[in-house]
Amino acid sequence: MSKLVRFGISLGEDLLSRFDKLVAQRKYSSRSEAFRDLIRAALVEEEWKEGGEVAGAITLVYDHHRKDLVNRLADIQHDAHGLVVSTQHIHLDHDHCLEIIAVRGRAQRVRLLADSLRSVKGVLQGTISMASTGKKLD
Ligand code: NI
């Protein structure tokens, strides 16, 4: 962790009051911790926009009875083996599967992989959790 630096922030009373409510709602131990999190969230958003190295999770829900769909999802992941760190498969019920694919790599490639997977016919839901490698967030 880099050296801590203190600095002051000027903002309106109303805005500060709303911020303090947010700090309490989200269970932060201090304003500083909440503020650090907001900064990190903005920096991670930029990493994804700028196409840097990112980490994240692609989550898919689909019907496992469609064998063509299951094979297609596996093919796409094999083609992107450099991005896929691990895959977890959960049998939700008799018909539905949840797949969580941990990914790491260039943001654009990760997005493309997520788009390729969720656009396969039969995928009921596909989301992407845009996280970070954590390297530049200390
Ligand atoms: Ni399953």
Provide the pLDDT for residue 64.
86
Q: Distances in Å between the alpha carbon of 78 and those of 1, 7, 121, 130, 133?
A: 36, 48, 18, 21, 22
- What is the number of other CB atoms lying within 10 angstroms of the CB of residue 116? 18
Provide the pLDDT for residue 2.
82
Provide the pLDDT for residue 11.
93
Provide the pLDDT for residue 137.
83
Q: How far apart are CA 78 and CA 134, in angstroms?
A: 26
Q: How many angstroms does the Cα of residue 43 sit away from the middle of ligand 1?
A: 36
Two structure tokens written together for 97: 């599967």
Q: How many angstroms does the Cα of residue 58 sit away from the middle of ligand 1?
A: 16
Q: How many angstroms does the Cα of residue 55 sit away from the middle of ligand 1?
A: 24
Provide the pLDDT for residue 66.
85
| pLDDT digits (tens), the chain, 138 positions | 688 899 999 999 999 999 999 999 999 999 999 999 999 999 999 999 998 899 999 999 999 888 899 999 999 999 999 999 999 999 999 999 999 999 999 999 999 999 999 999 999 999 999 999 988 888
Q: How far apart are CA 122 and CA 96, in angstroms?
A: 11
Dihedral over alpha carbons 25, 28, 30, 32 (to 10 degrees)? -110
Full DSSP string of 19-49: HHHHHHHTT-SSHHHHHHHHHHHHHHHHHHH
Pairing label, strands 123-131, 84-91: unpaired
Q: End-to-end CA distance of the chain, in Å?
A: 5
Q: How many angstroms does the Cα of residue 123 sit away from the middle of ligand 1?
A: 13
Provide the pLDDT for residue 27.
97
Q: How many angstroms does the Cα of residue 67 sit away from the middle of ligand 1?
A: 11
Full DSSP string of 109-137: HHHHHHHHHHTSTTEEEEEEEEE---TT-
pTM: 0.85
Ligand 1 (ion): which residues have CB within 5 A? 64, 91, 97
